[in-house]
Amino acid sequence: MTAMTDDTLPVTPRALRDEMIALVVMVALLAIVPWSGIYLFFVMQALCFALLACAFNLLIGYGGLLSFGHAMFLGTAGYVTAHALKVWALPPELGILAGTGAAAALAVITGLVAIRRQGIYFAMITLALSQLLYFVYVQTPFTHGEDGIQGVPQGYLFGVFNLANATILYYVVLTGFLFGFLLIFRTINSPFGEVLKAVRENEPRAISLGYKTDHYKLLAYILSGTLAGLAGSLKVFVAQNASLTDVEVSMSGLIVLMTLVGGLGTVFGPVLGAFVIVAMQQYLAGFGQWVQVIQGGIFVACVLLFRRGVIGELAHLLKRSL
């Protein structure tokens, strides 16, 4: 049996240096976006999805756990943040905290259930859990059913930064993204991350070495769910709404697709994948259901032809770690 990310290179000082260079380039590029004339709304949306895909990638790429229900964190955090801002009239920072906290709590609860099985069962269980939550949100009144929570006020972050200003909002979203990205980057290069990779490669061996693998998997799951929640909270400020589409199975599939296109188990793959898929959705919006067919086609092509994804293939070609 070949693991999904069996050809990732070992972390060497050189690999770490390559990743740092790529990181600096990425941050520099993202920092100058407001002067480039690129539509800011698009980049902000892509950044939210990039954080979401990175959080998902932490689980599958380094823990070997494929979650097919990550939309539940996106949607839950989105609903809670939107409700906190609109109904409770909380300031943005508390709204983000409430949404991310709700996602963290959800991750603890669902994690205790989901990590009881591995592999294919883990994927099916997370899928079923997110569908359970979907039906809950369809029925509970605070989500406003099919309409969703519309017209969420953006407010002033810390009472100073006006989030209705696109440029300010952009840097806030970028800060949130970088916070999550660096946290994940730090995690996968920490002793904790190394144990996680050991669990992915050979769980019985890790257990025999004395590691409580369930604890590691649960922690990774909670971290992943919480950061996915942060992405969901930030997305509320960009889209100014929270709706059922964020909790749907197709959203979970989209997260998987972004990561797969960019490269499972690569540091920068999910970011690139998110930008590619969000751009594709913008450009193909007029084609109706054909977008879904194209997405399915990309899934099939990725699995059959380039399982390493764009960044993974590039890293393999250059024999570098990216």
**Which positions lie near another protein, rule CB under 8 A?**
1-4, 60, 66, 68, 113, 116-117, 119-121, 123-125, 127-129, 131-132, 135-136, 138-139, 249, 253, 256, 260, 288-293, 295-300, 302-304, 307
Question: Looking at beta carbons only, is 23 or 128 nearer to another protein?
Answer: 128
Tokens of 302: 């990725």
Which of the 8 DSSP states describes residue 4? T
Report how far residue 286's alpha carbon sits from residue 297's, in angstroms, rounded to the nearest whole number: 18
Query: What's at 212, amino acid-wise?
Result: K
Question: Looking at beta carbons only, is 128 or 218 nearer to another protein?
Answer: 128
Least separation in angstroms between CB 281 and another protein? 14
Question: Looking at beta carbons only, is 120 or 285 nearer to another protein?
Answer: 120
Least separation in angstroms between CB 62 and another protein? 14
Question: Looking at beta carbons only, is 97 or 249 nearer to another protein?
Answer: 249
Least separation in angstroms between CB 229 and another protein? 20
Least separation in angstroms between CB 3 and another protein? 6
DSSP-assigned beta bridge partners for residue 242: 149
Burial of 251 (0-12, 13-18, 19+ CB in 10 A): buried
Report how far residue 236's alpha carbon sits from residue 229's, in angstroms, rounded to the nearest whole number: 11
Least separation in angstroms between CB 69 and another protein? 10
Question: Looking at beta carbons only, is 156 or 299 nearer to another protein?
Answer: 299
120 contacts: CB under 8 Å, gap ≥ 6:
none
Question: Looking at beta carbons only, is 86 or 217 nearer to another protein?
Answer: 217
Q: Is 240 in contact with 129 (CB distance < 8 Å)?
A: no
Nearest Cα to Cα of residue 247 among 18, 71, 27 = 71
Which of the 8 DSSP states describes residue 66? -
Q: Is 254 in contact with 69 (CB distance < 8 Å)?
A: no
Angle of helix 249-262 relative to helix 290-304, nearest 10 degrees, comes to: 40
Least separation in angstroms between CB 85 and another protein? 28
